Amino acid sequence: MRKKIALIGGGQIGQILAMLAAQRELGDVVLLDIPPLENPVKGKALDLMEMAPHGNYDASITGTSDYKDIAGADVVIVTAGKPREAGMTREDLLAVNIKIITDVANGVKANAPNAFCIIVTNPLDAMVYVFQKVTGFPKSRVAGMAGALDTARWRAFIAMELGVSVVDVAGTVLGGHGPDMVPLPRLTTVGGVPLADIVSKETIEKLATRTREAGTEIVKLFGKGSAFFSPAWSAITMAEAYLKDKKRVIPCAALCEGEYGVRNLFIGVPCVIGARGVEKILEIKLTDDEKAMLAKTVAGVTKTVAETKM
């Protein structure tokens, strides 16, 4: 029997998620959005069914506004909520998206209580916290998609700067999904060669700054709305790691209970993702400077989470 993937939110990211999940034959896809947008998701689902003969995939893709249709989903990916517009911070979305995430969490809890849940809605680290509190799901089954994207951006910018294949750039980004996130140049390599051996400190700082501001760079270019191709791929990578028990090491917002000295907070850390969900958090021995940067991003996320009053 095929796996079932429920996508809550059928907007920009949700529709790309549906396409990627179908193309990669991860399972049958249910795209849920709220009325009056029911018909657009039904239309998007039908369009994707009609793409299948050329896309060469077998998957059932349906659109709905009824949570009963996500019953028994193996994976839930949540993009429901408002995206940023030019001039907005992610935190500006807190008030509107907290209500949406609470509704979504209740719908998922009632209908897909065993799913591995990936949250994408911003402000990410606070929304994943709210989702876990409302559902009460174990920490292994709730993760925020942010580090996967932040790391992809870091790798992409390095590859673009050096004119090398992005496949050969390895690295990680820790912390909250915001301007205080912590790219780790010390642990970044290009085909095994340490980044610091081949580019200047100034270039590294320029690349790190661009990574921290990457979401805002796209929002400015779009004018309205935020990135959607790269966030969708990042979330699909996490879903695939779970569904295929790949044990991929992917930076995600995971509930830390002592790791990195952080307690009761979802924050971006390298995680092993396999059939048991977030199976393990890998702890890096950080330098004092890196610890100080991590403390700053943790303080920012703590402040936003406190505003959720949960």
Task: Please give the residue ranges that form the binding site for ligand A3D (CB under 6 A).
Answer: 8-14, 32-34, 37, 79-84, 93, 97, 100, 103-104, 120-122, 124, 145-146, 149, 177, 225-228, 231
- Give the shortest CB-34-to-ligand A3D separation in angstroms: 4
Of 145 and 298, which CB lies nearer to ligand A3D in the complex structure?
145
- Give the shortest CB-3-to-ligand A3D separation in angstroms: 21
Of 31 and 190, which CB lies nearer to ligand A3D in the complex structure?
31
Name every residue whose Cβ is closer than 8 Å to that of residue 81 and which is 6 or more positions away in sequence.
Answer: 9, 93, 96, 97, 100, 101, 121, 122, 127
Two structure tokens written together for 302: 């703590």
Quick check: is 177 catalytic?
yes
Q: Which of 175, 177, 204, 260 is catalytic?
A: 177
- Give the shortest CB-122-to-ligand A3D separation in angstroms: 3
Query: Do residues 177 and 146 lie in contact, with contact meaning Cβ atoms separated by under 8 Å?
Result: yes
Query: Do residues 124 and 90 lie in contact, with contact meaning Cβ atoms separated by under 8 Å?
Result: yes
Ramachandran assignment for 123, one of left (phi > 0), alpha (psi -120 to 50 degrees), beta (any other): beta
Cα separations (Å) of 76 from 79, 160, 236, 244?
A: 10, 33, 11, 15
- Give the shortest CB-31-to-ligand A3D separation in angstroms: 10
With helix as H, strand as E and coil as C, how does 52-104 read?
HHHHCCCCCEEEECCHHHHCCCCEEEECCCCCCECCCCHHHHHHHHHHHHHHH
Of 87 and 192, which CB lies nearer to ligand A3D in the complex structure?
87
Two structure tokens written together for 273: 């993702």
Of 104 and 190, which CB lies nearer to ligand A3D in the complex structure?
104
Q: Is 116 helix (H, G, I), strand (E, B) or coil?
A: strand
- Give the shortest CB-125-to-ligand A3D separation in angstroms: 9
Of 10 and 171, which CB lies nearer to ligand A3D in the complex structure?
10
Query: Do residues 120 and 229 lie in contact, with contact meaning Cβ atoms separated by under 8 Å?
Result: no
CA-closest candidate to residue 310, choices 145, 125, 115: 125
Active-site residue set:
177
